[in-house]
Amino acid sequence: MGEQVRGAAAERQYNKRWLIGLLGGMLLLGILAAVWMFTISARLPQELAIHWNSKNEVDGWSSLWGVALTTVLTMLGVGGIIAALAVLARGQNALLARIGAGVAVGLGMGVGALMVAVVAGQIGLSESSQAEISNPVMGAGLALAAAGGALVMWLYKPGEMDRSPSPEVLVANNEASSGDSSLVAAAKDRVARGETMAIKVSMGPWAWLLSAGVGGVVAVSTYFIFPALALLGVVVGGLIWVFTRGIAVISAEGVKVLASGFFKIMPLKWEEIHNATVEDIKAMDYGGWGYRMSGGAVGFIMANGPAVVIEAGFHQRFLISMPSTLKAAEAAALINAYVRNTKVKN
């Protein structure tokens, strides 16, 4: 397990460098594989075989450009997504993070080895109907992939994640719950007028990367099983897109989140809610980003950082990421004011 030998800032830089290195390494290896394919293009058929049916007959073809691009994107997508999740998971389990980083490199290189073996098996053929995957190239590639994964697993040694809340969040939480703060006074006035607060929350540019990355990996992976299944990538990417942005609504009726502005999730009535606080959350503590359910917690999590945490029902927690600490404090103060108003009425 990783040992804490760095300060908090140094630890963040260490993991940032590793993530950039892993992503850059997968991209570089993919480009090198693609360049090799073009250096032997004169010895390859016009159309390359890329899929075989259960009878080992070629039933799918692609151009060299298509194979090269697929190699780069698949290596970066498969290896990159797993590597990113591994580095982000270090707060839960450093050993798991190291294993994940190794698996990311091994799997990414393994996918690249498969694509190289597919092309290598067609060198010297005039047409690709009799093409076969090159077993020697595949074997050597898998051995290198295993060695690369083991090396990364050995070298990557993350420390413990700093879990102490930021001073700004501590102040915001105190302001949202203190009876004599200006935020609480303003919230009481809004409740008296029955006002609604709508707060836009989003993953921002990361939404494109997550949706396109996961959708692309699913599309490419399923294409080699059955081409029509590649449409699953569009569906998966679309679903992820829907849950990477939304509007948190606090009104006289209760609290809810509208994913992408229309899909209602996490609806809560004031009778169910006990109180709200401002917390500094880590997305991976709840399984990642988007609409998450983990143990007794349900969350609409867009990033690490400030979030409104609502205690409701029987020891249930509902988390909603906020665009800023100030917005989180305003939202928590308004929720608490509505809860107190409901109790007074009852």
Q: Hey, what are 86's tokens?
A: 């591994």
Q: Pick from 273, 250, 268: which is nearest to 340 by CA?
A: 273
For residue 4, is pLDDT > 50?
no
- pLDDT greater at residue 135 or residue 213: 135
User: What average pLDDT score do residues 14-22 get?
Assistant: 90
The domain segmentation of the chain, as residue ranges, is: 8-155, 167-203+245-340
Q: For 159-171, what is the mean pLDDT?
A: 77
Per-residue pLDDT at 225: 65
In the predicted structure, residue 5 carries a pLDDT above the cut 60? no
Question: Residue 120 above 70 pLDDT?
Answer: yes
User: What CATH class does 167-203+245-340 carry?
Assistant: mainly beta
The CA distance from 53 to 226, in Å, is: 9
Q: Is the dihedral of CA 78, 79, 80, 86 positive or negative?
A: positive
- The token pair at 269 is 């009535």
161 pLDDT above the threshold of 70: no
